[in-house]
């Protein structure tokens, strides 16, 4: 039985990866930060099966800022594979906490690599480092001849998050070359799901769309509607992570869909899933979205009602306007084939969030706090 250690297991990617590895017969160990409130919602369903014989799952309290803690956990677990998904991954927030994001996302990666080396596990343990499309910075001149970012495109990070992740990328590559470690980077472009945190733009949009349709919210405030992102489903992307560590040779891979979509169009797609057409007028901070039509009798929205506005507080000090990745290497070498397209992703997120908003409304009506 293979043993896997996942940092960031309580996050979107960590929860999907844990499910995948358990299905493949792994013993899965996860690292979670200590908090005064429960933060295991995404993996609670795994907890519920802990007493079943086929479940092999254990959690450890830990923090990527604590070297001795990381060494102790790795020594105790003796993993065959480490998936370092733990990070402060909100780009906008990284401008407010640049030192913290450097410590966790940059030096945290070094702590894992050095722990494996100190414990003489270089030949036993394979390491996956969660890298990011934010490394590229959206510069047009850095794209390849197909107009996409690939494994050879130059980096130009435009945020403290991207800068910290670039250290994680290069230190992983350095340890691979210096010590012969099977250490890899997965340069993942944006990947979403119903488990995405509600402060990330896609989930913010689908949650607000559901709330507006059900009369629980008046308006959704967003930042840069002209930003374009290459969005896929987190379920597909964690499969790529696993495939990367099953290769004979450690290499770095871009994981992406190869298509890019405006934030504005993601909004339109989300509302369309509940039968509401949105029309945008204006430019820049004056741009607004209005209800153009509503074909679903379950939702009574007035035609012409404003439901989208731009709020400058959500702008980043330095914007990345366009990201689109080239998945050629991952598809050819890994045999990776995504099961979801963007429409399927949006449909799943909207269905889940409509149910969530309805449940919250029922709980409030029954006198419960949501």
Name the nearest CA neighbour of 227 among 142, 143, 310. Answer: 310
Structure tokens at 134: 């934010």
Q: Which entry of 7, 10, 109, 132 is annotated as an active-site residue? A: 132
Could you confirm whether 273 is annotated as catalytic? no
132 is catalytic: yes
Candidates 98, 301, 138, 136; CA nearest to 212 is: 301
Question: Helix, strand, coil shares of the chain as percentages rounded to 5?
Answer: 40, 20, 40
Catalytic residue among 81, 134, 239, 348: 134
Name beta bridge partners: 149: 325
Would you call 318 a catalytic residue per the annotation?
no
| DSSP 3-state of 6 | strand
- Give CA–CA dist 240/255, Å, rounded: 7
Q: Out of 161, 237, 253, 299, which one is annotated catalytic? A: 161
Helices (H), the chain: 12-23, 44-47, 67-77, 91-94, 98-101, 108-118, 160-179, 201-213, 234-244, 263-272, 328-333, 342-365
Residue in the structure block whose two tokens are 């670039």 = 166
Closest C-alpha to 168, from 153, 183, 154, 182: 183
The SS3 assignment for 84 reads strand
Q: Which residues are catalytic?
A: 132, 134, 161
């Amino acid at each position: 039985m293979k043993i896997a250690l996942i940092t960031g297991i309580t996050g979107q990617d960590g929860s999907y990866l844990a499910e995948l590895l358990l299905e493949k017969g792994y013993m899965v160990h996860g690292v979670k930060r200590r908090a005064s409130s429960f933060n295991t919602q995404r993996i609670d369903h795994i907890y519920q099966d802990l007493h079943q014989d086929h479940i092999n799952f254990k959690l450890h309290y830990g923090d990527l800022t604590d070297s001795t803690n990381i060494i102790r956990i790795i020594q105790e677990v003796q993993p065959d594979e480490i998936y370092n998904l733990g990070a402060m991954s909100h780009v906008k927030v990284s401008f407010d906490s640049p030192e913290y994001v450097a410590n966790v996302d940059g030096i945290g990666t070094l702590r894992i690599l050095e722990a494996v080396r100190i414990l003489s596990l270089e030949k036993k343990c394979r390491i996956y480092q969660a890298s990011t499309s934010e490394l590229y910075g959206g510069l047009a001149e850095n794209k390849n001849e197909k107009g996409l970012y690939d494994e050879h495109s130059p980096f130009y990070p435009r945020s403290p998050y991207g800068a910290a992740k670039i250290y994680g990328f290069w230190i992983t590559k350095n340890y691979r070359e210096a010590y012969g470690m099977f250490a890899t980077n997965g340069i993942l472009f944006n990947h979403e799901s119903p488990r995405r945190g509600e402060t990330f733009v896609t989930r913010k949009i689908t949650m607000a769309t559901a709330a507006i349709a059900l009369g629980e919210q008046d308006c959704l405030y967003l930042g840069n509607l002209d930003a374009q992102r290459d969005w896929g489903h987190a379920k597909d992307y964690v499969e790529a992570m696993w495939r990367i560590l099953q290769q004979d040779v450690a290499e770095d891979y871009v994981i992406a869909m190869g298509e890019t979509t405006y934030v504005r169009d993601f909004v339109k797609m989300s509302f369309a899933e509940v039968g509401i057409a949105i029309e945008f007028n204006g430019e820049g901070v004056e741009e607004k979205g209005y209800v153009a039509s509503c074909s679903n009798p379950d939702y009574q929205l007035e035609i012409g009602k404003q439901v989208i506005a731009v709020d400058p507080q959500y702008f980043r000090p330095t914007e990345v306007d366009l990201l689109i990745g080239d998945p050629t290497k991952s598809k050819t070498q890994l045999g990776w084939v995504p099961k979801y397209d963007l429409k399927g992703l949006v449909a799943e997120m909207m269905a889940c969030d409509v149910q969530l908003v309805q449940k919250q409304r029922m709980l409030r009506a029954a006198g419960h706090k949501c």
